[in-house]
Amino acid sequence: MDLASIVGFILGAGGIIFGNFLQGSTVMQLIDPIGLVIVLLGTMGATIAGNSVSSLKRAISSIKEVFFSDKVDYEGTILELINYAAKARKNGVLALESDIEASSDPFIKKALSLVIDGIEPHVLMEIMDTELSNIENFGDESIKIFDQAGGYSPTLGIIGAVLGLIHVMQHLNNPSRLGAGIAVAFTATLYGLAFANVILFPVSSKLKINLKAKVLRNELILMGIESIQNGENPRLIEEKLKSFLNESQKKAYEEKNREK
Amino acid sequence: MDLASIVGFILGAGGIIFGNFLQGSTVMQLIDPIGLVIVLLGTMGATIAGNSVSSLKRAISSIKEVFFSDKVDYEGTILELINYAAKARKNGVLALESDIEASSDPFIKKALSLVIDGIEPHVLMEIMDTELSNIENFGDESIKIFDQAGGYSPTLGIIGAVLGLIHVMQHLNNPSRLGAGIAVAFTATLYGLAFANVILFPVSSKLKINLKAKVLRNELILMGIESIQNGENPRLIEEKLKSFLNESQKKAYEEKNREK
Amino acid sequence: MDLASIVGFILGAGGIIFGNFLQGSTVMQLIDPIGLVIVLLGTMGATIAGNSVSSLKRAISSIKEVFFSDKVDYEGTILELINYAAKARKNGVLALESDIEASSDPFIKKALSLVIDGIEPHVLMEIMDTELSNIENFGDESIKIFDQAGGYSPTLGIIGAVLGLIHVMQHLNNPSRLGAGIAVAFTATLYGLAFANVILFPVSSKLKINLKAKVLRNELILMGIESIQNGENPRLIEEKLKSFLNESQKKAYEEKNREK
Amino acid sequence: MDLASIVGFILGAGGIIFGNFLQGSTVMQLIDPIGLVIVLLGTMGATIAGNSVSSLKRAISSIKEVFFSDKVDYEGTILELINYAAKARKNGVLALESDIEASSDPFIKKALSLVIDGIEPHVLMEIMDTELSNIENFGDESIKIFDQAGGYSPTLGIIGAVLGLIHVMQHLNNPSRLGAGIAVAFTATLYGLAFANVILFPVSSKLKINLKAKVLRNELILMGIESIQNGENPRLIEEKLKSFLNESQKKAYEEKNREK
Amino acid sequence: MDLASIVGFILGAGGIIFGNFLQGSTVMQLIDPIGLVIVLLGTMGATIAGNSVSSLKRAISSIKEVFFSDKVDYEGTILELINYAAKARKNGVLALESDIEASSDPFIKKALSLVIDGIEPHVLMEIMDTELSNIENFGDESIKIFDQAGGYSPTLGIIGAVLGLIHVMQHLNNPSRLGAGIAVAFTATLYGLAFANVILFPVSSKLKINLKAKVLRNELILMGIESIQNGENPRLIEEKLKSFLNESQKKAYEEKNREK
């Protein structure tokens, strides 16, 4: 469960609704189906038209990562890798075969199985780098989809506003329809801005941060695997991998290490 | 047929028209030839003036790719390349001569024919890299043309709006001509925003995505051809090329491989 | 003569004027000397202040390239280079001395004369790369000047609009001067947007495209000269240089080659 | 204490308040709790939702650096490093062990301790480069959080303005509630723009500048440590490290050096 | 004296003032102390808060470079370097000792003194590259300060406009104070846009251009010094350095060379 995202979305949407309430309006007074139709369908349409079905599916399924992504456990990953390093140094890399199954992560599994297959170091790195940039590319695609939607949404709000004003102009002498036009103009603008800034951009930002953490962890893994294949000293490998941590993570690592 | 694009464009344009209908207006009430003239001719003019005839032609012909581009078949390409690798390992690269004709793709054809001509690996890579960056450049040019048009379109909408308001100011005492001015002001703004956001930017985005997929596939091909020329083990080549696939593509590949 | 630019500028400006005409206004009604003074002098002033005299001169003289640039003849350049390659292979590079004069292009001339002077390959490449990045830099400077002017122009339109509105506020009780203020407000906005989007940005875009084509051709030339100096097989050089062409250019090349 | 930031924030906020006072308004007339709720909660919500708890904490704790960051002491760092270089040249790198404790900076401490541990130069550089890019990454994260908040804030100001206008439209016949709506519309816009431009963006800019100075100093340190490990002449090391200084820093360095 | 900047600033400011005059307003009618206080103090405050005292001082002192920077003399620099090259080839690099004092430029002085000190070529290049990127960094800092101020200024204009409108709303029944509010609204907008576009951005652009020319000259110097240290033929060095010149500069160089 990602607390920041849950608190953030509640705070953002809540702030707008609470401000509206303080003015003496109800939430119902902010709901206008016409504005909703224009902004939602328009934004969805433009976003869908400019992407492929598979990447749209991946983007939608990545939303749950915003709320339920596990914190990337750099410290545990380092301990796991040093463990492998010690074992490989003592009994050779083939001794790691039993660890592949138990490993915490598909990226480590893949890298370890290539080590055991005896793939040459530079070929292994070529394969794992492609794998990693593949992970980055697919992640970026989802992020861009939310960024695009966040770009379209306010513009469709303005399109809704203009549509409303055109309606107003055509019925200047009919006050009831005039009111409808103005309502569309304002609520469409509101929806467009709020969807983008309170939902879509924060989602994109969170996915970006999660992806960056995942990529950093995989770079740490690659440095570790490379050192294991080179048969380096586990203490040196630890020193190398700890350089990925900041001060507070280093402290957390030392604690975990002691507990072990 | 690209479902996402078709559904997307219908949804986007439909959302605006449906919202307008919900307001009690007809589509006819959104049509204003003056706004259309200003936004369409102006956007086309600015876009044409800043590009060459040949790149404009290519951009226009790329529109059909938005709707009818085949999904890039990474899995099939890998199977094809491993097939060549096995053959070349058994009977030498000259045995691939008969496969050039049958190959699925001009990029593979070109690379294979260079292999058979006995071009040195680093020269072959130099040639194919130039070929690939050439494909990227021409693709980028088309994308930029739609991006440019999408940038001009809303501004020409505003130019139309200002023209309409100037007209309004000059005929403040003539209500019928006043209405015409206001109509131009609003519909030109609407057209400018809608063309850009519901048509031009999604087209550009789709072309970008298609180009990226094509480039990735060609990079996969180059890695495969390089390995074939080096006479590498087909099983290792498979391992290398599979690193271009994500989890679901890897599954699809295994299935295709089993069917074979 | 560059058809796209001429047609484009006529279409762009024509669309605005035609739209204005359809509204029932004349071109004269769009002309306001005050708005013109503010937008033109202001944009020119800001652009001149931020650049050097020499780069401003070069930018102005580059305008004619927008209309009269020759299409870059990649195919002819390849034929010329292969011709040199064949000659140099038969009779040595000194045999190319007579071709320097006849060569189509200062970049080829410079490179050939260095080859004949016996400059070492890596020094020759260092010199020609500096020469090429020099061409790019000076080209970029002109492009940026038009981009800058295109950025200032709409803002000066808004400055003109604000000035007009200040005037309006100061003479609310004098209708004739009030009208003048509103006219400046609208026409200045119109001029600012139209200069930028119908003239300045398309000019910048065209210069960018011409520069890119020129740079690509010079990269092709450098690859060719390097191969000539290495004494490579003309058929291989042809293969290398053809990788710069797209499908339709390859066809055009084959035709030219046959005609020869 | 960072004078520029303190003076700057007082000047920025003071200018707005003083301008308001010159108009004949009091500060109290600028305070509207509804606008404050919408802009503050909305901006905080969107920013929190798009980031992780740990990076938000780090961003908040970095605010004190804006006001209390020490000036980076390049000159002192050079003197310290040359001191180590001289000692290491005379008595070997192990003689530096006692200096680790006394060293002014965790980055130097870490690098020195690796030198003493006898880590090979290229491994040491690999570790320290990762350490440095880690420092940059975490710094960038905090900067981006303030940049994001600065992007959301004006938009939430506009959302507040639209909410206010919707309220106005719903109570056109009730002048007292009408006033409330207009007040929200204007103050929310004001808050959104002022928070971003007078607080958030300057904070981000200051953090960026502090980070850049810290990174530059660490690059200087790495160049020094590398030279110490290579056993280079302290005078040459001084020459190398002084190239990081500008003219006035070079003068300050010569003075410090003389004082010593 | 830099003619372009002086003419440019006069033209830019003059165009606005002249346009205002054509409308029948005087300059005095554009002066509003309240708007000035908000825009100037606000922009200065935000800019100062986000930068360090030393970089703000450097930015202010760089303003005089906008008006009084000497044209970078590439041709003279080449002649000077070739002169050194010839001398060093005849009598060894130590013969250049007497030239350090007489040299035109601190960058040449520094490089020459390192040559004479017998610093190894790759170390010399490392030192001079750091020196050069240092010059670039400090120059960039000043440029960014003006860019930042140019970004804040229009926003503070809008903040001033909103403040004015809030005042208007609070005194709707008091026409004299109403006028004051509207005046602040318009003049603050005007000041914000004009400061940014007629002063701050052109200053930043000019500094950018001057910096680029200085960096290019220093790169030319480094290529020359490297060749001198390698003892290359002065005629080859001339050929190398001339590749930094464009056609008209090459002509100017040939003339200067002949005069010599």
Q: How confident is the model at residue C102 (pLDDT cuts 50, 70, 90)?
A: confident
Determine the distance from the C-alpha atom of residue D106 to the mean position of all C-alpha atoms in its chain, rounded to a whole number: 18
Euclidean distance between CA atoms A199 and E106, whole angstroms: 55
Instruction: Tell which D residues from 231 to 260 touch E, by Cβ distance under 8 Å.
Output: 236, 239-240, 243-248
Q: Report pLDDT for E26.
A: 85
Computed over every residue of chain E, the mean pLDDT equals 92
Crossing angle between the packed helical segments D201-229 and D234-242, to the nearest 10 degrees: 160
Residue of B nearest to A126 (CA): B240
Computed over every residue of chain D, the mean pLDDT equals 92
User: Which residues 6+ apart lie within 8 Å of D39 measured at CB?
Assistant: D153, D156, D157, D160, D188, D191, D192, D195
Question: If you count DSSP H runs as helices and E runs as strands, how many of each does chain C have, helices first?
Answer: 13, 0
Q: Which of A15, A212, A216 sits opposite D38 (nearest CB)?
A: A15
Contacts of A13 in chain D (CB under 8 A): 45
CB of E50 within 8 Å of a chain D CB? The answer is yes
Question: Looking at this predicted complex, what is its ipTM?
Answer: 0.92
Q: Report pLDDT for B103.
A: 85
Q: Report pLDDT for B42.
A: 97
Counting Cα atoms < 13 Å in the Cβ hemisphere of D162 gives 27
Determine the distance from the C-alpha atom of residue B22 to the mean position of all C-alpha atoms in its chain, rounded to a whole number: 34
Q: Report pLDDT for D129.
A: 97
Least confident of B45-49, C107-111, D143-147, E100-104: E100-104
Q: What percent of chain D has pLDDT over 70?
A: 99
Closest by Cα among D30, D31, D34, D12 to D20:
D30
Q: Report pLDDT for A2.
A: 82
Our answer on whether A and C touch (3+ beta-carbon pairs < 8 Å) is no
Residue E128 pLDDT greater than 90, yes or no: yes
Instruction: Tell which E residues from 54 to 113 touch C, by Cβ distance under 8 Å.
Output: 71
Residue E260 pLDDT greater than 70, yes or no: no
CB of C166 within 8 Å of a chain E CB? The answer is yes
E188, E39 in Cβ contact below 8 A? yes
Q: Report pLDDT for E4.
A: 87
CB of D167 within 8 Å of a chain A CB? The answer is yes
Alpha helices in D23-120 (DSSP H): 33-36, 42-49, 53-61, 63-68, 74-91, 97-102, 106-116
Render pLDDT for D226-253 as a digit per residue (tens, 0 to 9).
999 999 999 999 999 999 999 889 999 9
CB of A50 within 8 Å of a chain B CB? The answer is yes
Q: How confident is the model at residue E141 (pLDDT cuts 50, 70, 90)?
A: very high
Q: Report pLDDT for B260.
A: 67
Q: Of D224 and C177, which is predicted with more confidence?
A: D224
Q: How confident is the model at residue B1 (pLDDT cuts 50, 70, 90)?
A: low
Q: What is the mean pLDDT of residues D87-113?
A: 90
Residue A213 pLDDT greater than 90, yes or no: yes
Contacts of A246 in chain D (CB under 8 A): 134-135, 138
What type of residue sits at position A94?
Answer: L
Closest by Cα among B138, B158, B134, B141 to B50:
B141
Residue C260 pLDDT greater than 70, yes or no: no
Q: Which of C49, C52, C180 sits opposite E12 (nearest CB)?
A: C49
User: Which residues 6+ apart lie within 8 Å of A227 measured at CB?
Assistant: A85, A236, A237, A240
Contacts of C25 in chain B (CB under 8 A): 163, 166-167, 170
Q: Report pLDDT for D103.
A: 86
Euclidean distance between CA atoms B49 and B52, whole angstroms: 8
Q: How close, in Å, is residue E118 to chain D by CA atoms?
A: 11
Q: What percent of chain A has pLDDT over 70?
A: 99
Our answer on whether C and E touch (3+ beta-carbon pairs < 8 Å) is yes
Q: Report pLDDT for E1.
A: 67
Collapsed DSSP state (helix, strand, coil) of residue E255: helix
CB of C216 within 8 Å of a chain E CB? The answer is no
Residue A105 pLDDT greater than 90, yes or no: no
Euclidean distance between CA atoms E41 and E58, whole angstroms: 20
Residue of B nearest to A159 (CA): B190
Render pLDDT for B131-171 as a digit per residue (tens, 0 to 9).
999 999 999 999 999 999 999 999 999 999 999 998 888 77
Q: Which two tokens stand for residue B137?
A: 């450049």
Q: How many CB atoms lie within 10 A of CB D247?
A: 10
Q: How confident is the model at residue A68 (pLDDT cuts 50, 70, 90)?
A: confident
Residue of B nearest to C198 (CA): B46
Q: How many CB atoms lie within 10 A of CB A1?
A: 8
Our answer on whether E and A touch (3+ beta-carbon pairs < 8 Å) is no
Q: How confident is the model at residue B69 (pLDDT cuts 50, 70, 90)?
A: confident
Q: Which two tokens stand for residue E50?
A: 């986000």
Residue D260 pLDDT greater than 70, yes or no: no
Least confident of A214-228, B33-47, C51-65, E246-260: E246-260
DSSP annotation of E96 reads G
Closest by Cα among C14, C37, C60 to C200:
C60
User: Which residues 6+ apart lie within 8 Å of C147 measured at CB?
Assistant: C200, C201, C204
Q: How confident is the model at residue D107 (pLDDT cuts 50, 70, 90)?
A: very high
Q: Of A173 and B12, which is predicted with more confidence?
A: B12
Residue A260 pLDDT greater than 70, yes or no: no
Q: State whether C14 and B128 contact (CB < 8 Å).
A: no
Q: How confident is the model at residue A108 (pLDDT cuts 50, 70, 90)?
A: very high
Residue D175 pLDDT greater than 80, yes or no: no
Q: Report pLDDT for D208.
A: 97
Q: Report pLDDT for D174.
A: 74
Euclidean distance between CA atoms C140 and B106, whole angstroms: 35
Crossing angle between the packed helical segments C74-91 and C106-116, to the nearest 10 degrees: 10
Computed over every residue of chain C, the mean pLDDT equals 92
Contacts of B156 in chain C (CB under 8 A): 15-16, 197
Q: What is the mean pLDDT of residues D175-194?
A: 86
Render pLDDT for D190-218 as a digit per residue (tens, 0 to 9).
999 999 999 999 999 999 999 999 999 99
Q: What percent of chain B has pLDDT over 90?
A: 74
B104, B80 in Cβ contact below 8 A? yes
Q: How confident is the model at residue E23 (pLDDT cuts 50, 70, 90)?
A: confident
DSSP annotation of C117 reads T
Residue E252 pLDDT greater than 70, yes or no: yes
Q: Which two tokens stand for residue D195?
A: 């928070």
User: Which residues 6+ apart lie within 8 Å of B207 measured at CB?
Assistant: B62, B65, B66, B139, B142, B143, B146
Render pLDDT for C133-166 as a digit per residue (tens, 0 to 9).
999 999 999 999 999 999 999 999 999 999 999 8
What type of residue sits at position A32?
Answer: D
Residue C241 pLDDT greater than 90, yes or no: yes
Euclidean distance between CA atoms B2 and D52, whole angstroms: 37
What type of residue sits at position E123?
Answer: V
Q: What is the mean pLDDT of residues B75-87?
A: 94
Q: Which of D38, D45, D130 sits opposite A8 (nearest CB)?
A: D45
Q: State whether A19 and D40 contact (CB < 8 Å).
A: no
Render pLDDT for B29-48 as a digit per residue (tens, 0 to 9).
889 999 999 999 999 999 99
DSSP annotation of D92 reads -
Render pLDDT for E46-66 as a digit per residue (tens, 0 to 9).
999 999 999 999 999 999 989
CB of A150 within 8 Å of a chain B CB? The answer is no
Computed over every residue of chain A, the mean pLDDT equals 92
Residue C243's φ and ψ, nearest 5 degrees, are -70, -10
CB of A138 within 8 Å of a chain B CB? The answer is yes
Least confident of A165-179, B227-241, C82-96, E31-45: A165-179
Q: How many CB atoms lie within 10 A of CB D152?
A: 29
Euclidean distance between CA atoms C23 and D230, whole angstroms: 80
CB of D230 within 8 Å of a chain E CB? The answer is no
User: Which residues 6+ apart lie within 8 Å of D142 measured at CB?
Assistant: D55, D58, D59, D62, D207
Render pLDDT for D13-63 as a digit per residue (tens, 0 to 9).
999 999 999 988 888 888 999 999 999 999 999 999 999 999 999 999 999
Q: State whether D42 and A18 contact (CB < 8 Å).
A: no
Q: What is the mean pLDDT of residues C26-41?
A: 91
Q: State whether A180 and B9 contact (CB < 8 Å).
A: no
Q: What is the mean pLDDT of residues C9-18?
A: 94
Euclidean distance between CA atoms C171 and C168, whole angstroms: 5
Q: Of A252 and E1, which is predicted with more confidence?
A: A252
Q: How confident is the model at residue C1 (pLDDT cuts 50, 70, 90)?
A: low
